[in-house]
Each structure stands twice: as structure tokens, then as C-alpha cells.
Chain A
Amino acid sequence: MAAVTLSQVRKAFGSTEVVHGVDISIDDSEFCVLVGPSGCGKSTLLRMIAGLEEISSGRIEIGGRVVNDVAPKERDIAMVFQNYALYPHMTVSDNMGFSLKLAGRPLQEIRSRVDEAAQILGLREYLERYPRQLSGGQRQRVAMGRAIVRKPQVFLFDEPLSNLDAKLRVQMRTEIKELHQRLRTTSVYVTHDQIEAMTMADKIVVMNMGKVEQIGSPLELYDNPANQFVAGFIGSPAMNFLPGRINGAGIDIGEGIRVPVPAGATVAAGREVVVGVRPEHLAVGADGLPATVVVVEPTGADTQIFCKLAGTDITAVVRERHEFHPGVPIRLTAQLTYLFDPASGARLA
């Protein structure tokens, strides 16, 4: 087990820089999730940690050792790929034992370590099968088995659940987390799914356009987003954003509707701002902001109400059951609001 430190890591393909000076430090036995939209550079970053991609500049350390010029096999890491990358011509046990076989370990040891990993992952009855004969979830487990038999210092996961169906994804999510709690191996996990990030991570790194937007624990990011991007990316359904202008103790958001300025905020009057409010922080009541219902989606546990407020589409999630019809006027109260700068996206309050 080891800490992983990235200092001012950059990556350029030709003249296009895709990772712009990233600093991340991941503690020993921490589960760190890199999350961001497609093309934000998170997979490139992971591949640089793995040694599959060269680093244009900066420094990557694993367990205190600079690994910039160290070959992947010397880095003492294991990686789980999005498409599993199982060797189709090898049985499950050969797939899992391949790295040990290459390392020249005695057959007895290979067998016992494969067996141990198969035991943990519930794969013992599939050891003699070929990857083709397994389901997606089983293949995923074999890919993890291949990683854990080596007892590496760091596990790297590259969107490992994105090829699974929704139900299996939730199940595997729990299994990976449980595995981490059991082995305590430092893990770096890449995903574009913020729910995966929220549920699995000790530490989340939100990335966008090759830059780190914010680093923190899941709830820190949820409660205190550093900017509009993080606020909009973390949380589901996504935060609502309403453009407006400060006017005394309120914010004009159009159509004569005013939202109160969040307590403690010091923002100059007349300034343009973006008001952010999470769907779950909106309540339906007798008074409040006037909105018009567009679509109502009951999910059983709660109800999502899509409506128009001052010309902007917003979403509210409420626990109570309502039978609203499209076009019905309702009143919404925002219990918690955030303020962002419209130009830079920086958090104002």
C-alpha cells in the first residue's frame, strides 16, 4: 500500500494540451475517485499513473518513489479496464494467475493465491471457464481478481462499471467498496458517474477540461461546491441555476420575481449573479416563488417536478406526493441557495 502524489502533471498530444498541471495527493489506503464529463482528462490521468501514457511534464510518485520513467510493470500497480481486457484464450484461473506466472512464482503459490482471490470474489466454480462463457458481472469480477492476486500497492479502475446494466452496477459498486474496506489498498477510480463517485469515494477529484475543479470528500463537495461547475456536476438531479441581479436584500430573477440573498453574503448591489438551488432544497407550499408545472415524475420514494420559474426550466424533488397537472401554478420555497459569478463560475456565497 502506498500514497500517490501528482505534482503539476501535464499531458500534451502534439500541440494540444489535455491535462493542464494537475496536483493531487492520495493518501495511503484511500479510495480516490476522479470524476468529470467525457474528455475532461480523467482517464488520461489514470493512464499516466499506470504508465500507459507518458507524462509531458510534472511528477508522479507512488509510495514516495518518482515513477515518471518507470515501466508499468515496475510500478507495482494493477488496473481494471472498462472492457475488462481479459485474455480470451485463457481460463479464469489462467487470467488471474498470468502476472504471477510471468513473475516466475512457483505453481503452488500461484494456485493458492488465485484460489484465495476467487474465494473473495465468489469465482471458485468458474475457474476453469473461459471469459466468453461468463456474464458481464462475472467478467468484471475476474478483472478485479486479476488485480488482487498480485497484491499491488495501488489499484487503478478505469470506468469499470460502465459496461454493466443498472442493477448490476449498483451491486458491483457495493462489492468494490467492500473489497476496498477489506484490503485497504490505495485505489484510484475513474468514472463519469457522479453517483458512483459520491457513494464510493473517500476523496473525490472533480475534473473539467483538463483541470482539477475541486478536491474533497463527497459531502464537502455537495455542501460546499467551490464553483458552479462542481455545484452542477455533483448531486442528482443537478442543481438549478437562475440568472439574476442583486437588488437590495433580494435578487431579481426576471418577471418581477425576487429571491432573497443568502444570509451572510456580501455582494455589491446591481451585480449580475447566478442563483443555485438544489432540487431537494425546494419545497412546495402556500406561498413562495410562483412556478408553472411542466411534467411530474413520481418515482415512488419521492416526486420530481419539472417546472418553469421566471422563464427558466427548474427541477424540484419533494418527498410528499402531489397530483399536479401540467400548466398548474405552484409556489416554491428555496431553503438553501448558493450564489455564483456568471463569468467565472466562482462561488460568491
Chain B
Amino acid sequence: MHRLLNNRNALGMLFMLPAAALLVVFLTYPLGLGVWLGFTDAKIGRTGEWVGLENYEFLWGDSVTRLALFNTLLYTVAASVLKFFLGLWLAIILNQNLPFKSFFRAAILLPYIVPTALSAIAFWWIFDAQFSIISWVLTRLGLIDRYIDFLGDPWNARWSVIAANVWRGVPFVAITLLAGLQTISPTLYEAAAIDGASPWQRFWHVTLPLLTPIIAVVMTFSVLFTFTDFQLIYVITRGGPLNATHLMATLSFQRAIPGGALGEGAAIAIAMVPFLLAAILFSYFGLQRRAWQQGGTDR
């Protein structure tokens, strides 16, 4: 025992045990259980039997699941692109020497710190068919003569939830990119100005290349969070109208818990994993190519 405690490796293992236990209990077990359930026909109140790929075969042919996949991809791509451009724009503005700079930097985080359920309820009201403030303002301005049916029409509903997600996600992107911008030495901009670069060329040749590693990280996280989003949709539309805003996550929950089909729900959730892995690998290899940061040559 004494010798074991004096051994560097054994001691290291021992110290890692608590963390490993937490990971196993709260990460590995639920994930493993989810994977297992996906291969069974478990229902609520009944342990399932192994059915192999039956759940996946069914979901492949299921039109609602296919629609949910389309919705999820649209939601992720549209919201991420918007969040990126808005976030970058905000970060660049906040990186200037503005009056009340710290106030604006703090204020920009507000959407991010409000509980999602709360902001989702606010958006629910903003998008309400009768009480929408947007419709009210637009009618008062004389731009429209009928209230917009934000959440009743499939495409309106899709864009509405995307807007809510963008509003909520922009601060994360903006603040992280701002942190990235602040690591770029101001003398590089001075050197570029003397080299004859216009403001746009300075952005394109200095800011963007130096910000790319941070963009890759922040957008990977943003894509992961958006792809797996649940709360906003669940509070605002519950997947409606006509499943037009159902995402993989909300559909998985709906099939598994209210619907009782645990196996099927688990299978939908597990079907998200390949997409998430693809997103991670994309940014991983994207970063690997930029070897100048590690002192190597670009491959």
C-alpha cells in the first residue's frame, strides 16, 4: 500500500478516480443507456427487447422524422450563419474605442444570461397572433394592414424560431470573437496601414486570418448548441404548426416521454450524433491546416 502511494502513476490514477467516477455516472452511463435503448423497443413501464436496427429503419421511412431532420439542418445553418455575421459585426464595433464601452460590452451579454425559458416566453408574446408588438408597430406605421401570423404558418414559424435563437446566441459569438479580436496586436494594423492597406483590406488580410482559430471554435460550439436546441422550440411552438418547427431534439422528447416510445425517441437522439461529430471534425481539421500557429508549414 505504501509503495503504491509513492508510485507517481498509481497516485495519478488515484487522483483521477473522482473525476472519472463523475464522468462515468453522468456522461457515459446516460449516453450508453441512450445507445442501448435505441436498439430496443422499450416503452415507458416496460423494459424493451433487442430489436437491432428496427427503430432506425422505421425512422428512415418516417416522414415526420425526415421533416424534423430538414428543420434541424435549416435551423442550424440559418441561425449559425446569422449569428456569425451579426456576432462578428458586433464584436468589431465593440472593439473600437467607443464611449461607455464597458457598459455596452456588459449589456450585450443580457440575452445570454436571461433564462432561456423566460426569453422564449417573451418571444412567444412577440410572435403572438393577436398581441404581437411587431404586428402592432407595423400596422401603426401603416406598413401592413393585417396582423402577421408568426407561429401559425409553417415558414413564418420556422423563421420566427430562428430569429429567437439568433437573438439568444449572438452574445456568445460576439463576446468570444471580441476576446479574439483583442488578442490581435494593434501594431499589426499600424504596419498594415503603412503597407497601404485600406480598412477593408486590413480586415481581410489581418483580422480574419488571425481570428480564424477562434471563429472555428466558437462556431463549432454554436453549431452544437443550435443543432441540439430544445428549450426555445419547446416553449414557443412545441414543434408546431404541422411539425414545421420540430427539431430532432424536440421530436425525440415527444416520441419518448409524452409518446412513451423510449426506444424510438432514443434512436432519434442517437441519430443526431453523426451530424455533431461531423461538425466537430470539420473544425478540428480546419484548425489542423493552419499550422503556422504551431510553427509548422501548412499542409
Contacts and interface: CB of A to CB of B under 8 A. Distances in A.
Interface of A: 50-52, 71-73, 77-79, 81, 83, 85-89, 98-99, 102-103, 128, 130, 132-133, 146, 150
Contact of B209 (A50, A73, A89, A102): A89
B292 A83 contact: no
A71 B185 CA distance: 20
Contacts of B188: 85, 87
Given A98-B205, A102-B195, A85 B190 contact: yes
A175 to B, nearest CB: 21
Contact of A81 (B187, B206, B209, B210): B187
7 contacts: A50-B194, A52-B190, A72-B193, A78-B194, A83-B185, A85-B185, A86-B191
A128 B297 contact: yes
B197 interface: yes
Contact of B196 (A87, A103, A130): A103
B45 interface: no
A85 B191 contact: yes
B292 A73 contact: no
B201 interface: yes
A50 B194 CA distance: 8
B73 to A, nearest CB: 32
Interface residues of B, number: 21
B295 interface: yes
A73 B187 contact: no
Nearest to A152: B194
A99 B295 contact: no
A73 B293 CA distance: 29
Nearest to B188: A85
Contact of B195 (A71, A83, A99, A132): A99
A72 B196 CA distance: 8
B187 to A, nearest CB: 4
Interface string B176-195: 00000000010110111111
Nearest to A104: B196
A128 B296 CA distance: 11
Contacts of A102: 195-197, 201, 205
B34 to A, nearest CB: 41
A99 B209 contact: no
Contacts of A133: 295
Nearest to A71: B193
Interface in B256-299: 290, 292-293, 295, 297
Contacts of A98: 192, 195, 205
Contacts of A86: 191
Contacts of B192: 87, 98
A83 B184 CA distance: 13
B162 to A, nearest CB: 33
B295 A132 contact: yes
Given A51-B194, A73-B194, A79-B190, 20 more contacts: A50-B190, A50-B194, A73-B196, A73-B197, A77-B194, A78-B194, A79-B191, A83-B187, A85-B190, A86-B191, A87-B188, A87-B205, A88-B210, A88-B292, A98-B205, A99-B196, A102-B201, A103-B196, A128-B297, A132-B292
A130 B292 contact: yes
A146 B191 CA distance: 10
A133 to B, nearest CB: 5
Nearest to A53: B190
Contacts of A85: 185, 187-188, 190-191
Contacts of A89: 209-210, 290, 292
B215 to A, nearest CB: 13
B195 A52 contact: no
A71 B191 CA distance: 13
A150 B297 CA distance: 27
